[in-house]
Amino acid sequence: MDAKLQTFLKKFQHLKINLEDIRSATNNFHDKNRIGHGGFGSVYKGELSHFEGRSMVAIKRRNLDPRNLQGTPEFLKEIIMLSQYKHENLISLLGFCYERPEMILVYEHASCGSLDRYLNSPRLTWTQRLKICLDAAKGLSYLHDPRETHHRLIHCDVKCSNILLDDQWNAKVSDFGLSLMGSANEKNSLIVTPAAGTVGYCDPEYEMTHTLTKESDVYSFGVVLFEVLCGKFCCTFDKNGFVQEKFVPTWIESYKEKKINDVIFKDPTLQPLNQSALETLSDIAYRCLNESREERPTMLEVVRELETALVIQELNISEKSCVWKESISYYKGITMNADPPLNYMSTLKFWVLLSKGVLLNEGKTWFSLNENGEHCEMISSRACVLPSVSENYPWSSGYSSR
């Protein structure tokens, strides 16, 4: 089996890192270099050379019995997946080491750790919390959207501890050991699997049918959104590791009864979450938790709603504070032929879309509104050039310019 593994891993030769270099970077896996631990083994930090250069990295050392190959499928899967799927909101694989009995994966170092450490921390503002959720949603949307030879990937273990944060608080989805790949250019992927996910985050339909779809990830992400919103984990456990209390049913009831403000995370040092942003965030989180997979939103829809909530929070706007409401008919008229067409359910959502900017005039004009309701336009420079001049005069610049 070792010979077959070595042959397979030759495809990823550029990612190979020597065990001796890893031992040197971690002071021979010294406890002072250890930054995490779980059922898989331990994670260490250290400075290491890899195919992208030299940097601080996270080194995941699998806890393996040297007499067998337990954990090999997960090890290989992460190498395959993270070699194919590249996105700013997915953790990057920088290398691996396979020198029996060691199976080690080397990732970019997310210096702020995982999201679960900050659920009830005032260190994160509501703007940062929304941005983190948006980043993670973008990463999952990329995995779910098959294009060309890009196969759909179902993560299968979406949870707060698998969302890592770099030094700028950018979020990156991690841990692809349980991920499952669907066919390319396939509208839907239904996969039968015996085991996946973490207690509290699992799709209820999976528990009944043992099938997974991309909507299973959407459900798990809905749990994450409520955890961020409420500042607590979805479950508590007793000393034996059994579930003691589940909060998801309580959160759903609070939303239905319009009492979400009663369970939202509050801290006297934290600027409150804008009420309109709260409504947008809680609404998409609730929709993610729909029992019916068909009724759950896509991750692309989740991204759009979180973008809206973030803009509302950043500008601290509300339906009542839209200073340009008297001009709403005018703005709707001039954006009627926006490309792509505008899709909104309320005046506030329309305001948010215009705040982010839209393309008009067949893509030649960029139109947006600032926080005071004043509109700004940018037009293509080509539109300012006379056709006869642009065709006959050899334009040039005497200096380098953007």
> Catalytic residue numbers?
157
Kindly report the CA angle at 308 between 304 and 311, in degrees rounded to 5?
A: 135
CA gyration radius, the chain:
24
Angle between helices 126-144 and 299-315 (to 10 degrees): 160
Contact 197, 178 (CB under 8 A): yes
Angle between helices 126-144 and 214-230 (to 10 degrees): 180
Nearest Cα residue to 263 out of 275, 273, 280, 250: 250
Q: Which residues, other chains included, contact 300 with Cβ-Cβ below 8 Å and sequence gap of 6+?
A: 141, 144, 145
Q: CB 198: neighbour CB atoms within 10 A?
A: 18
Q: Is the peptide bond before 101 cis (omega within 30 degrees of 0)?
A: yes
DSSP string spanning 210-231? -EE-HHHHHHHHHHHHHHHHHT
Buried-state track 205-238, b at ≥16 Cβ within 10 A, e below 16: bbeeeeebbbbbbbbbbbbbbbbbbbbbbbbeee
Please tell me what DSSP assigns to residue 294.
Answer: G
Distance CA 274, CA 233 (A): 22
